[in-house]
Every structure is written in structure tokens, then in C-alpha cells.
Structure 1
Amino acid sequence: MLAELMYGRSYAALEADAPMAALNLDSRNVTFESEYYMATDDAKFQRVKPLLWLWKSVDLTPLGHNPLFGIPLRRILAGYIFKSVGRDFKCWQNVEFSVGYNMEVGDDVVIHRNVLLDDIGGIELHDGASVSDYVNIYSHTHSVLDGPDVTLRKTVIGRGARLTYHSTILAGSVVSDDAILATHALLRGDIEPHGIAMGLPAKTTRLKIREAGPVEGIDSRTFAPEPARKANPQFPEPTPNQTKRVEEAEEVLLSPRMGFVAGKR
């Protein structure tokens, strides 16, 4: 399919005329970053790898940038790659997944351009969730003490939640139903239902005016997250304390001869 879409000829004809171009279309000749991860389930990933390569490659073509072709194709591929996907899924071009098979997507979900979905630890996008351009959603963390000490935490985005431009959601965060994460915000916790969170780190500073009533879907105040999992079993569980508070803060002092030098209060 890639040979026909990108070069207008069969794979066999392309292999005979331009073997290097042909070899680059075959996912068996390509290595994904996630294949270096200890947490990647190789059997699951090898099953979806050709479809992910088709997705990524088509996105670089004019057809991939044409919504009338690209969006329906991605919707079909998602049904074979994701753990689950609902109706009317809409995904624009240049969206990256870590493994793809840990994505759980509800109905009427929209993902815009250049989004990173690090689903190695699992990502849930519930009905009507909207992910704007250049959003990053993570589901793993690294220990400060040891980089290879990786913890997997599922990240959950509730119904009708909106993650706006260039925002970042760290692993294990829960964005409740009808909540908003503001542009350029960094979320390392939860947002309550109808909340609007902004800042670095993001805090809920406003609430939408809604009728009072219980939330039947995702409510971070009562949500029971899945237990975190260690990707590398050689590291202890749970992760030990990684930093300590500096009792005597240092400040920068000005030396007339040497310029700025480190000093203490």
C-alpha cells in the first residue's frame, strides 16, 4: 500500500527499480524507539508495528494531509492498533504513540496535529475528549536517582475534557469530566470536574458555571487509579524518596572582580 501511495507502483516494481526506497517501506527494516523499552510487550508491539508504520508514513504524504482520506484511514487503523476505540474517532496528522496498543479511546474523541501520546503505561480518553495541537500526554516517569528506574502510571482524561494548545500532562494525572487544561500548562496532578487549570505547575483556579449534581463519569476526587507498575523489576517497589530539601539555600553573589559567583545566605 505504501509503495502505491508514495511511488505509484507495486512494491515488487519499486524493489526492482529502487530497492533502498522499497526496504524503507517495510516495517521489518525499521526500529521504533519503544523497541528499546523494557516495558514494551514485544508480542503486542510486533502485531501493531506494521500498522503504526503505515500510519506514520501516510501522514507524510499529501493524502495523509487530506482530511477526507487521512481521518477515515486513521480511524480504521485505530480499530486494529488501540486497546479499544469508540465511534467517530477523529485524528489529524503527525500524532505519535509510544506503543499504540495501550490506548483506550471513547466515542467522538478528537486528537489534533503533532500530539505525543506516551501510552506505554496506558492512556484513557473518554467520550468527547479533545486534545489540541502539540499536547503531550505521558504515562511513565523516571526516578531522579536512577534513569532506568521507570514507573508506569495510567493517565485518564474524562468525558468532554479539553486539553488545549501545547499543554503537558504527566503520568498518573486524572483530568475529570468537563475539565479544561489551559494553554502551555503543566499538569502533574488532577483537575476536578468542570475545573479550569492553568500555570506551571497547573492549578485549578476557576470552575465552569454548571448545575450542581453528581458526576457519573471521571471525578478525580473519588477516582480509584490503577496501581503504579515498575517497568524494570531490578529496582525496589515503591520508589524510595528521591530528593531532600536544601536546608541552607544558596544564592548568587556579585564579586567586583570575578563577576557572578555562587555563595550562601
Structure 2
Amino acid sequence: MTWLKPISIDEHAQSSYAAYFEELEARLQDPATVRPELVRDTLALALHGRPYSVLLADSPLLALNLDSRNITFEAEYYMATDQERFQRVKPLLWLWKSMDLSPMGQNPVFGIPLRRVLAGFIFNSVGRDFKCWQNVEFSVGYNMDVGNDVVVHRNVLLDDIGGIELHDNASVSDYVNIYSHTHSVLEGPDVTLRRTVIGKGARLTYHSTILAGSVVSDDAMLATHALLRGDIPPHGIAMGLPARVTRMKIRDAQADEAAGYDVDSAHLVRVPDRKANPQFPDPTPNQTRLPDGDAALEARAPRMEAALRKG
């Protein structure tokens, strides 16, 4: 049972919002729609109350920055970005980001349905009732796979360049960072893409960080400010820097196992890592060692590595 209560707004406002989303979705489904023009026209009216042509004549620099063809995203500079796919979603990411900074984007009864519509045309896949709050950042957007009833809260970074999966009922709290790429410690341009998977009903709590290739299994939880650089088993609670499993939720394990897990880190078939830069085609070898003469650290190293492998 949800702990949230329903809230209603003025019927005229609600019907106006619903009509707007229906029209926007229809236009995005129309192959004849030129997405950059749709977005610039939408932003001119929504943010400045004037048609784009009028705004262009009055304030050309302002108007030009509403057109996604005149701006760049960080992802466009990456070798790993599929430029053709990104150009399809770029205008919609610009609309998402720009509207988040407006009163409409800050209004949950308008902003959340707007993002839900846009997600259907940006993400690789998205299920029902996706709920995304304001100021969420993506790397490319098109490498997101999102299940049913997923919630993403404010100021989250979803670095999906290598792929992110958020399975049914996953919850991502405010200021969480989820990564799917990693850099060599010796050669910054040597980038490895690793798919990061968040299981069914998993919870990532405030300000936690999930590094590339990590797997958070079904019903698992990552604690506040924790840094995950491995896996969490089903029902596990991981805490700390780096995170390790310190508690297990009390669940009916037999019933869960009988029903089957969507994501169990022990049995998940992993998507192979990919290299983002053709100058570094081979797997990155181990490039660090323990400090010289640190006998205590040397003695602890095997236990530390074993703990990290367990999550």
C-alpha cells in the first residue's frame, strides 16, 4: 500500500494539461514532425509567451538558444555516443532540461506527466507510470531501460552511456549518481563501458553512488552516502565507503526464490564490457599497486578484495 495520498487540482487546469500532453505525444509520433522546430516553438511560447518568429526578431540570441541545433550536449563530444541515435533524442532532452527550470517543470502535476511522455521517445524502453522529478541528468538518454512504476527523485545523475537498467518498482532517491563508464587510472581517454543494473524493488538512498558495472539485486538497498563498486545480493543492505553488505532484510526467501528473481547478481548474465575509444581496444589491465612498505595494508589487502567481491 502506498504511503502517498491523492491530490486533485482545478478541473479546467487538469483537462488543459491532459489535452496538451495528448497533442504533444501525437506530434512526436508523427514522422513528419521536425523535432528541433517543435521544441523551439514550444519553449518560445512556454518560457517567453511569444511565437518563435517574434522572439527571433526581438531577442535573436535568446531565440537561437531555444533551438537544439544551436546548442551542444557533453555527450556529443564522446566517441562512445551513437551520434545518429543521439540526434533523434537531443531536442527532447533539451525540452526536458529547459522545462525543468520553469514553473511548469517544477509543478509535479505538469512536470511528471511531461517527462513521462518524453521518456517514451527518449529511452530505449520505459514501462507504465514512470515518475521522474525535476533536474535529472542523462548522458545520452537512449541507453535507459526502465520498468514499471519506477521512481527517480530530484537532482539524480543517470550516466547511461554504457547502459542503465531500472527494473520494476526501483526507487532512486535525491542526489544519487549511477555510472556506466569508467576511466583507466593511467590513461584518461581509455574508457570502458559497463552496463549497470538496478533490480526489482531495489532502493538507492540519498546521495549514494553506484559505479559502472555494479548490480543491485531485487529488493536490495544501498544506504545513504554509500559508494557501490560491486554487487548487492537479493534483500541485501549495503553501507559504507566502499559499500559492503552489512544486513539482510527479513523476507520469506523460499517464496521469493519460488517466484523467481528478475535480477540476482549471483546468476545474472552480464552484458560484455565495451571499449569506448578505438585507441584502447584491449581490456584495461590492473594499473595500481599497494604503497611500498605498508605491511599492514599488504596484510589486509586479500580480506579487502574478498569483501569487495561480495559487495
Which interval holds the TM-score relative to the shorter structure? Answer: over 0.9
3-state SS, counterpart of residue 292 of structure 2: coil
Aligned twin of 1:43: 84
Where in structure 2 are the equivalents of 1:76-95 lying within 5 Å?
Answer: 76-95=117-136
For the residue of structure 1 that corresponds to 2:169, the secondary structure is: coil
Aligned to 1:72: 113
Which blocks of at least 5 consecutive residues in structure 2 are unaligned? 1-41, 296-311
Output the aligned Cα RMSD.
Answer: 1.0
2:74 to 33, 48, 55: 33
- For residues 114 and 198 of structure 1, what CA distance do their matches in structure 2 show? 21
Deviations 1:62-101 (A, max 9, x none): 1100001100000000000000000000000000000000
Match of 2:284 among 203, 217, 239: 239
Identity %: 76
TM-score, with length taken from structure 2: 0.79
- CA shift digits 1:151-185 (9 cap, x unpaired): 00000000000000000000000000000100000
2:21 alignment partner in structure 1: none
Partner of 1:50, secondary structure, is helix
Q: 1:129 aligns with which of 170, 186, 200?
A: 170
Offset of 1:236 from its aligned partner? Answer: 4.0
Q: Which residue of 2 aligns with 1:153?
A: 194
How do residues 1-265 of structure 1 correspond to structure 2 at under 5 angstroms?
1-213=42-254, 214=257, 215-249=260-294
| Superposition deviation, residue 243 in structure 1 | 1.0
- Consecutive unaligned residues of structure 1, counting only runs of 5 or more, are 251-265
Which aligned runs of 4 or more in structure 1 are off by greater than 2 angstroms?
Answer: none
Distance 1:231 1:58 in 2: 31
Q: What letter is aligned with 2:44? A: A
Paired residue total? 250
Give the Cα separation in 2 of the matches to 1:16 and 1:67.
33
More helix by share: 2
Task: Report the Cα distance in structure 2 between the residues aligned to 1:147 and 1:229, rounded to whole angstroms.
Answer: 16
What SS does the corresponding residue of 1:243 show, helix, strand or coil? coil
SS of 2:253's partner is: coil
Higher normalized strand content (fraction of residues): 1
Structure 2 CA distance for aligned equivalents of residues 246 and 180 of structure 1: 33
Shift of 1:237: 1.4
Offset, 1:247: 3.1
1:246 is displaced (CA, Å) by 2.4
